[in-house]
Structure 1
Amino acid sequence: MTLLELNEVGKAYGAVRALEGVSLTVEQGRISCVLGDNGAGKSTLIKIIAGLHQHDEGSYAIAGEQVRLSSPRQALDRGIATVYQDLAVVPLMPVWRNFFLGAELGRFRLDVPRMRRITQEALEKMGIDLHDVDQPIGTLSGGQRQCVAIARAVHFGAKALILDEPTAALGVKQSGVVLKYVAAARDAGLGVVLITHNPHHAYLVGDHFTLLKRGRMAGSHPRSEINLERLTTEMAGGSDLAELSHELGRTDPKEHPPT
């Protein structure tokens, strides 16, 4: 089932074209990875999907309906949850308060016991081992905070989950933990968009790979048609690397073996 579909989307800020001719399909139970270096257009694409900015060209459809979202609330109401790299948490508040931030239970007073219990159950359902939901979320590792954000999106009924560089500031072990829960979100039936500049992380979980370069499509491949080596080369830009290598006077030793 197709949840989101962007076709030939473009976006300009004055004379600067941030996106041009970008297409992306997000399907239920699949992870679509969007790869690109800084300045590739990934952030602009996220903002269009999440309702922060409107596209200037092309079309954007949610569940087959053409839309022009004008706010993140409209995206949320349609089941699109976005987890940004900075997470937007309140570090000194406990985990359960952050889990329900903006969606607290109780009409006249907070139903604290219920929110604590639901938070614990939601985390356990995702396989997240967190013993104390009363601890300030700021005391958790970056990977743990990302996992809480993913569990929150699943609990509140997200159909599509957009993840902005969730492993960018994490070490190898924490990145592995986060990717495990990204896969868990897919297995829970969500359509996931994983934004990353790391082809190794993308290839561990991705079902489809879209490459951006300077705001344009540089490739679009299902997993069955590409391996990690080729994905890494396309992500880095094979011709650009060859040109840089030539300028630096570096060549492949296989091409010029020592005599």
Structure 2
Amino acid sequence: MLKKRKVIVTGAGSGIGKEIVKGCLNEGASVIACDINGNSLNNLSLAMDDRNVLYTYQLDVSKYEAVTKFFYYIEAEHSDVDCLVNNAGIYLAKNILDYQADEMDKVLDINVKGFIYFSQMFGKKLLEEKRKGVIINMSSVSGMEGSSDAIYGLSKAAILGLTKSCAMNFSPYIRVNAVAPTMVNTTMMGIIPDWRKEEYLSHQLINTPVLPEDVAETVVFLLSDKAKHYTGATFDINNGGYLR
């Protein structure tokens, strides 16, 4: 589905990001995988076979200068890039009453500003060249229904607004959609409070857990031409949660 596509994926070294990279590669895309963790990127490269066209780039998405430098690299080495998956994020599992100011800044810098920086620079490039492209923003059920970690929840709600606004600002060239999964079996799930996990599960109408590869399949679909009529939409992968 993704032959001739070139996809940037942030937060690509583990969890959902890693599965998105695999899914894109399996569908014939080239991928530029970004992550703050160099070891994770090395392990990702080792896990792929020689047939895959995978490039890795270590950076902190919350640093504007680092993202600017990355897009200079993109212009020089991958000027045909046409897809972006904003996935990098952080979850501290803290009550808002316990947050320190620097912790608030860290979550918002990564979870919101990182998405803004990449969207701005990717959007500017493709709009100036009048080329078609796609942006997928990873949000969360907590951005739609609230979170036990209010700062994380507000960051993921902000991404829904960013998605709709960029869909308008970048039309007709770039389609922009959001994916909002429920709990997914990654390392993050290990620090979600038990009461919140039970609440999520009690609302779900399908009793099959949502896996990282399930989320990746939705992202691959949205990157493909099969989703050519979707923009400004949110795909809530939550087993029918919160319908009642």
TM-score tier after normalising by the smaller chain length: 0.3 to 0.5
- Rg bigger for which structure? 1
Higher strand share goes to which structure? 1
- Normalising by structure 2, report the TM-score: 0.34
Q: TM-score, normalised by structure 1?
A: 0.33
Q: Which protein has greater RCO, CA pairs closer than 8 Å, 6+ apart?
A: 1
